[in-house]
Amino acid sequence: MAMLFALLLAASAALSAQSTGAIAGVVSVSSGKPVHYADVVIVRSGQRTESDEEGKYRIEGLAPGPYDIVAHLHGLTDSRRRVEVRAGATVVANFELNLSPVRDQLTVTASGRQVTPIESFLSITSASQLDLAAKAASSSLGDLLEDQPGLHKRSFGPGTGRPVVRGFDGDRVLVLQDGIRTGTLSSQSGDHGEAVDSTLIERVEVVRGPATLLYGSNAIGAVINTISPEHEMHSRPRQGLSGNVGGTVGSANQQGGGSGNFRYGIGGWQIWAGGGSMRTGDYKTPIGTIDNSGTNLKNMRLGVGRYSEKASFSFGYSVQDGNYGVPFAGEFHHEEEEEKEAGKKATTPKAAEEEEHSDISLGFRRHQFRVDTSVRDLGRYFEQFRLKVNYTDWNHEELEGGEVGTDFFNKQLIVRGDFEQRRWGRWSGTVGFWGMRRDYKVYGEEALAPPVGQNALALFAVEEYDLERLRFQFGARFERNSYDPEGLTSRSFNGLSASAGINVPLWAGGAFVTNFTHSLRAPALEELYNRGPHIGNFAYEIGNQKLEAERSNGIDLSLRHQGKRLRGEANFFHYGLRGFIYGAPTGKEEDGLPELEYEQGKARFTGTELKASTALHEKFWLHLGLDAVRARLTEANQNLPRIPPVRGRIGVELLHRGLSVRPELVMANQQNRLFPTETRTAGYVVPGLTASYSIARQHVVHVFTCNVFNIGNVLYRNHLSFIKEVAPEMGRGVRFSYNVHFY
């Protein structure tokens, strides 16, 4: 009987092998040498494997039909192929990885699994270390990403830059690190930054549209996820030593620094460590040096993980420490105190003339502890379960002449679990849960809110239905947020967000995608409870404890094409918001600052993002880009504050072997659509040049980069800067960087 059963099993396996096929091949670099540990991913299903020491890979058990496959290796450009699998046969698909002006980057933020932008239901910008090399010395996330399509920066100086996406700022743009909120306070104030060292991250992904479903109900504008090399739980550890080392020096702000990442795998274990330091001095403009604008950033991280085919576990710790100057803030503080003493009121903040004042800087430190676990092959219904537990302890001090003026504390515990469903017929998807406990305290001169405890809990699901020539996506997220302030009214908010999308292939490499989203955002802590003078936002803020949840209905339309000689994407978006929360001027002044009271109304955000790259010749590419947004309070017929002007880009790229030379012009229109407290900002045309030389070998990639920015030493101002009147953007400068990746 046992023998008969064994024969039946063997016959069944043989029959299955005859009815399915396989894909196999070799992954190599442009020199022809095979490379190991390259990810090979089947795009739609997410099935993946890695190349071995000889560069070979194999994926079996595939139903007959067409498949799109992407090979990915950090430091090189992804390569994509389409193959036809036949029953009982193995199709060969070899990949050659090199450096290219157009990149088919894999993304994980949009859906929780690896997909490419053409398959995604959301609009994605994925910037790898190669893309970010020219900005390698940027000390804030806003500075790092402002060159990406549709992204601008809000700032109060170089250390405070935070991304603005589609005109959305603050709490409506959610910043993550490896899929978890960073725990900083950058969304609260113009002088609070989101510090980042680009040499210690693998890539940054910006996801616009209905990303509220997976990450948070406040992500109406976008989710921005910085991803470290250890972000994925691999089915097996990468044996031996791998990592990267880099350094940067530059003029115009005397920048310099270096960093390194190292990973070592042995058996089923992997350990990693990394760290770096970066410093910038006061930056120069065409009209002089901006005092107190320097930055200093240091960071370190380490971790250990155990990996197997069935389960994985890792623990990591990181610490980030630094400080940055806040230009002119000391003068504004001095003027505020002077107005109080004199009993006068000023119309706008301005520098005190020939009066002594103390420079203001912000010192910060963040400790992060993180545990990641995953279990695979959970049975009939689920392919994998991932659990992330993250604790962040953030503290920053506003220093006035070396004395602590205000001390901020933000402690945050997050638990997130994802169940990746096993594909069932045409259905696939992810369901999960998320919870957060936050303790916020602030002491000192700008203690605008009392200590507040925040609890949040969410359940979410994203489902996809695949008809081959047509794909649908449906999602929902229920989230509860509750605030418990000391001495003030407690509030809680429950809300359901939902979305529906369709992805329609139009031709080879082309697709039309549309999404409809309904989302609900609970008021932010500062919108409910702040009260007092807030120099960081140039306002005397009055919170409103009666605010209701903000509701948004949005539609996104996207036309995409990815080919060998032409890549492009055209996006259109329209969001109508009910109960939109904003700081409304009362017409009064307090402590020399315009008084703003948080109110609610109807608002509309409408805009477009266009980008295209085309090969005029094999070694000569043209790159174009345009972004525009219009945002208004519809009932009051009033423009919203800090909305970026229309901006365009035009550049060419000359290629010769490993050399790339990319001159570019960035053009922005004047911004004269103003909020009552704003002033007009002139348009500008700024030329720049980036050149890089890459040497790709079997297990190492060297990248040398030179970036000459603002070649014409143009005097221009950022409309989204709180201090644009007194601090224009950086003048002419040059930056050199070197990075080596080994694996």
Q: Give dist(CA 225, CA 196) in Å, integer.
A: 12
Which CATH number do you get for residue 603?
2.40.170.20
> Across all residues in the chain, what is the average pLDDT?
85
Which of 62, 97, 132 is the endpoint of a domain?
A: 97
**Range scoring the smallest mean pLDDT among 31-35, 570-574, 641-645, 670-674:** 31-35
Indicate the pLDDT class of residue 89, thresholds 50, 70 and 90: confident
Across 214-218, 432-436, 517-521, least confident range: 214-218
Confidence of residue 351 (pLDDT cuts 50, 70, 90): very low
List pLDDT tens digits, range 529-572: 999 888 888 889 999 999 999 999 999 999 999 888 888 999 99
Q: How confident is the model at residue 14 (pLDDT cuts 50, 70, 90)?
A: very low
pLDDT band at 110 (very low <50, low <70, confident <90, very high): low
Is the pLDDT score of 9 beyond 70? no
- Identify which has the larger pLDDT, 689 or 144: 689
Q: Is the pLDDT of residue 369 over 70?
A: yes
- The whole-number pLDDT of residue 334 equals 53
Q: What is the DSSP letter of 328?
A: T
- Gap between the Cα atoms of 320 and 201, Å rounded: 14
Q: Provide the domain limits for residue 29.
A: 2-97
Residue with tokens 């058990």: 61
Q: Does 618 score more than 70 pLDDT?
A: yes
Split at pLDDT 50, 70, 90, the class of 37 is: confident
pLDDT recorded at residue 546? 95
Q: What angle do CA 486, 488, 489 make, to 5 degrees?
A: 120
Q: What is the pLDDT of residue 502?
A: 93
Supply the DSSP symbol for 107. B
Residues 620 and 666 in one domain: yes
pLDDT higher than 60, residue 357:
yes
Q: Is residue 498 domain-shared with residue 629, that is, in the same domain?
A: yes
Same domain, 83 and 180: no
Mean pLDDT of 597-601: 95
- The pLDDT of 640-662, averaged and rounded, is 92
In a domain, 542, yes or no: yes
- Claim to verify: residue 603 and residue 707 sit in the same structural domain: yes
Could you give the C-alpha distances from 438 to 390, 391, 524, in angstroms and in order? 12, 10, 13
Average pLDDT over residues 85-93: 88
Report the pLDDT averaged over residues 599-627: 93
- Give the pLDDT of residue 700: 85
CA nearest neighbour of 558 among 164, 119, 122: 122
Residue 483 pLDDT grade (very low, low, confident, very high; cuts 50, 70, 90): very high
**Residue 732 C-alpha from the chain's centroid:** 27
Q: 638 lies in a domain?
A: yes
Whether residue 270 lies inside any domain: the answer is: no
Which of 32-36, 43-47, 118-122 is predicted with the least confidence, judged by mean pLDDT?
43-47
Which H/E stretch holds residue 730?
Answer: none
Q: Give the pLDDT score at 242.
A: 86
Nearest 5°: phi and psi at 382? -125, 135
Among the candidates 45, 79, 97, a domain finishes at 97
Same domain, yes or no: 28 and 173: no
pLDDT of 309 higher than 60: yes
pLDDT of residue 301: 92
In this prediction, residue 633 carries a pLDDT of: 95
Looking at the structure, tell me whether residues 534 and 430 fall in a common domain. Answer: yes
- DSSP-derived 3-state class of residue 35: coil
Residue 8 has pLDDT above 50, yes or no: no
Percent of the chain with pLDDT over 70: 87
Lowest model confidence (mean pLDDT) among 58-72, 159-173, 382-396: 58-72
Q: Is 500 within a domain?
A: yes
State pLDDT tens for residues 652-664: 999 888 888 999 9
Mean pLDDT value across residues 231-258: 80
Given a cut of 90, whether residue 668 has pLDDT beyond it is: yes
Does the predicted model carry a pTM greater than 0.95? no
Tell whether 287 is covered by a domain.
no
Instruction: Answer yes or no: do 152 and 37 share one domain.
Output: no
Note whether 64 and 152 are same-domain residues. Answer: no
704, 740 contact by CB (below 8 A): no
Residue 57 CA to residue 34 CA, distance in Å, equals 11
* Mean pLDDT to the nearest integer, 43-47: 72
Residues 477 and 601 in one domain: yes
Of 535 and 338, more confident: 535
Q: What is the pLDDT of residue 597?
A: 94
Residue 733 has pLDDT above 70, yes or no: yes
Please check whether residues 385 and 516 belong to one and the same domain: yes
| Domain-embedded: residue 103 | no
Q: Of 315, 351, 314, nearest to 334 (Cα)?
A: 351
| Chain segment 158-182, per-residue pLDDT in tens | 888 889 999 999 899 999 988 899 9
Q: So what's the pLDDT on residue 457?
A: 96
Question: What's the pLDDT at 193?
Answer: 81
Rounded to the nearest 5 degrees, what angle is found at the Cα of 364, between the Cα atoms of 361 and 366?
170
Q: Strand 638-639 to strand 647-656: parallel, antiparallel, or no bridges (unpaired)?
A: unpaired
Residues 6+ apart with CB under 8 A from 270: 237, 238, 263, 264, 304, 305, 307, 314
Residue 678 domain-assigned (yes or no):
yes
What would the pLDDT profile of 561-593 be if each residue is shown by its tens digit? Answer: 988 888 899 999 999 999 999 999 988 888 888
CATH number of the domain residue 53 falls in: 2.60.40.10
With 50 as the cut, is the pLDDT of residue 366 above it? yes
**Sequential DSSP letters for 124-177:** EEEEEHHHHGGGTT--BHHHHHTTSTTEEEEBSSGGG-EEEETTB-GGGEEEEE
Given a cut of 50, is residue 85 above it in pLDDT? Answer: yes
Phi, then psi, of 536 in degrees rounded to 5: -60, -25
409 and 532 belong to one structural domain = yes
Residue ending a domain, among 50, 79, 97, is 97
CA distance 629 to 632: 10
Q: Are residues 400 and 325 in the same domain?
A: yes
Q: What share of the chain has pLDDT > 90, as a percent?
A: 44
Query: Does residue 461 lie in a domain region?
Result: no
Please list, in sequence order, all residues whose beta carbon lies within 8 angstroms of the beta carbon of residue 640, skipping any fewer than 6 positions away. Answer: 167, 582, 603, 631, 632, 633, 675
Q: Does residue 64 have a pLDDT over 80?
A: yes
Q: How many domains does the chain have?
A: 2
